[in-house]
A and B are shown apart, each in its own frame.
Chain A
């Protein structure tokens, strides 16, 4: 599949289907983006499992930390990789070797390894690269619109609320795609040119 852009339906389907997410490379520091994303997804009802060998046996936000994917005593639906691109392949290999393979391997914003993606897809696993599940959840539920971000979705339907509080919205809804922006692609192109 093309990994430059993903249809909203593809991302929505993943975030609406998976229940257990292992986050590889999560930081215990509360000012790190991985901690933010972990906390946000935990608050939206996902079972979140932290994976970080340096923190193994400790807890992050009340969840027990494991050293590696194979140490997790339960099946996971999605592996969210918060590591630099060069460290992705071993994590993907480990995920494919699990007794019950995850349905999805998700690589964070800025993380991309096309060879690892091809290997995972050959094993029947869906792959998302260079995206953040927190931002995508926020975008497709419209929660991210509260801070002026272009959600690139339109809808004439009311966004359903989740059970708790008025500032929580559900992903379970229909939207159509909104205005396109090629900003990310251009930023990457410019970066590539400058690095040459």
Chain B
């Protein structure tokens, strides 16, 4: 008898979440505790020495967070996950496991602005040097590789401009260079795109966005694909060299194809400390149970809104890869055939003043800086998130004076369109 492989929606509900072994609770309990008792001193020693699976302290692991970790790892087709306090924390822990001072990583310059800031400024304080490449010129990634390069970092669907990155082409460059490909899959979620199937070695998420999906919890996730050989050239000593803080064990040798997730946990999370609250893990888990339904509705609504905007007399352009004729449409059909996500930008013929007027006049859309909520969200970057930049810098960042970013929610699409219609006409 062959064993069935469950479908995506089944995994979104069940993966990692079995009835609680002690109480029988069917929903995942919130283990709101800092610490866990040991059976005896030998059990404690085994746990601290990484010789046994189990719980010690919620900064290092927690049963509620562990359900979330296994859930997202299963949805991505990875070997293991690590839940952390935010998407930014996930990026810090991933790079902490890979980089030593003076090392470089190549990153797509079409990224979430917060990531660009983190890489340009905070990471440089650690001596982790970002080298920018252009996803519209795949060769620029290859040209950016040096002997110091330790990783390549991209977003599957880039925030905010509706850019779809050619994961497979960049994955091939990473493989030739002998470095892991890290993909931020926040905007796509594994429902739309599973980067591991296209060559990613590590997938990260801001769980805050569509995975949690309800705008109520900040969280991040690291998924280990289990595909990278960390010991081949000795370039990743955190994984391939004996660890003095763990009696000299070698993480890759000991944990095999989930060693990267373990390294991020027992070195990064333990020592840097950005643990996820079990309560947030519970809320995010509840969100993930409806991921398939929500993402499809987000995408269907976004496509309808993008089509309506493209035909509106106040609108100069719409950048949504789900539209036929969009420059990323073919990549969207390859990587996200079920839909091109729900975050995109468009330009107003009336420029800066029209943008300010639009965000002031909406009644259903919420004017705020998040994305990936059940609610439809709007922001005019030039007057808010990118206000401090010069006009030239704004244009280069995709935040010119005419640009409006939308994150389309799962309300009735006619109501979403009606709100934009009245706000544009007002």
Please tell me if the beta carbons of B265 and A147 are within 8 angstroms of each other in the complex. yes
Residues of A within 8 A of B262 (CB): 147
B342 at the interface (CB under 8 A from A): no
Residues of A within 8 A of B53 (CB): 138, 143-144, 146-147
A13 at the interface (CB under 8 A from B): no
Query: In the complex, which of the residues A145, A167, A187 contacts B257, with contact meaning CB atoms closer than 8 Å?
Result: A187
Please tell me if the beta carbons of B242 and A31 are within 8 angstroms of each other in the complex. yes
Q: Could you tell me the distance between the alpha carbons of A71 and B205 in the complex, rounded to whole angstroms?
A: 54
Query: In the complex, which of the residues A8, A143, A148, A184 contacts B226, with contact meaning CB atoms closer than 8 Å?
Result: A184
Please tell me if the beta carbons of B242 and A166 are within 8 angstroms of each other in the complex. no
- Which of B20-28, B126-134, B324-332, B388-396 is near enough to bind chain A? B20-28
Please tell me if the beta carbons of B66 and A148 are within 8 angstroms of each other in the complex. yes
Please tell me if the beta carbons of B225 and A164 are within 8 angstroms of each other in the complex. no
- Which of A72-80, A85-93, A95-103, A171-179 is near enough to bind chain B? A171-179
B261 at the interface (CB under 8 A from A): yes
A150 at the interface (CB under 8 A from B): yes
Interface string of B189-225 (1 = CB under 8 A from A): 0000000100000000000000000000000000001
Chain B: CB-nearest residue to A145? B70
Chain A: CB-nearest residue to B253? A33
Q: Could you tell me the distance between the alpha carbons of A8 and B5 in the complex, rounded to whole angstroms?
A: 12
Please tell me if the beta carbons of A159 and B18 are within 8 angstroms of each other in the complex. yes
Please tell me if the beta carbons of A30 and B49 are within 8 angstroms of each other in the complex. yes
Q: Could you tell me the distance between the alpha carbons of A3 and B163 in the complex, rounded to whole angstroms?
A: 42
Q: Nearest Cβ distance between residue A32 and chain B, in whole angstroms?
A: 8
A36 at the interface (CB under 8 A from B): yes
B43 at the interface (CB under 8 A from A): yes
Residues of B within 8 A of A143 (CB): 53-54
**Consensus secondary structure, chain B interface:** loop
Please tell me if the beta carbons of B52 and A43 are within 8 angstroms of each other in the complex. yes
Chain B: CB-nearest residue to A150? B73
Query: How many A-B residue contacts, CB cutoff 8 Å?
Result: 172
Please tell me if the beta carbons of A160 and B21 are within 8 angstroms of each other in the complex. yes
Q: Nearest Cβ distance between residue B86 and chain A, in whole angstroms?
A: 17
B308 at the interface (CB under 8 A from A): no
Query: In the complex, which of the residues B46, B73, B228, B253 contacts A148, with contact meaning CB atoms closer than 8 Å?
Result: B73
A40 at the interface (CB under 8 A from B): yes
B287 at the interface (CB under 8 A from A): no
Residues of B within 8 A of A123 (CB): none
Q: Could you tell me the distance between the alpha carbons of A184 and B55 in the complex, rounded to whole angstroms?
A: 26
Query: In the complex, which of the residues B36, B61, B63, B79 contacts A150, with contact meaning CB atoms closer than 8 Å?
Result: B79
B80 at the interface (CB under 8 A from A): yes
Please tell me if the beta carbons of B74 and A183 are within 8 angstroms of each other in the complex. no
A1 at the interface (CB under 8 A from B): no
Please tell me if the beta carbons of A40 and B52 are within 8 angstroms of each other in the complex. yes
User: Which positions in A face B, CB cutoff 8 Å?
Assistant: 7-9, 30-33, 35-36, 39-40, 43, 109-110, 132, 135, 138, 142-152, 154-161, 164-169, 176-184, 186-187, 190-191, 194
Q: What are some 13 contacts across the A-B interface (CB < 8 A)?
A: A7-B3, A110-B256, A145-B67, A147-B262, A150-B80, A154-B10, A158-B19, A167-B54, A177-B5, A179-B5, A179-B15, A180-B5, A183-B77
New A-B pairs, 17, CB < 8 Å, besides A161-B22, A181-B226: A7-B2, A31-B248, A32-B249, A40-B51, A146-B53, A146-B63, A147-B80, A148-B65, A149-B70, A149-B79, A149-B261, A154-B11, A159-B18, A177-B3, A186-B225, A186-B227, A187-B257
User: Which positions in B face A, CB cutoff 8 Å?
Assistant: 1-6, 10-11, 14-16, 18-22, 24, 36-37, 39, 43, 46, 49-55, 61, 63, 65-67, 69-70, 73-75, 77-83, 175, 178, 196, 225-229, 232, 242, 246-249, 253-254, 256-258, 261-262, 265
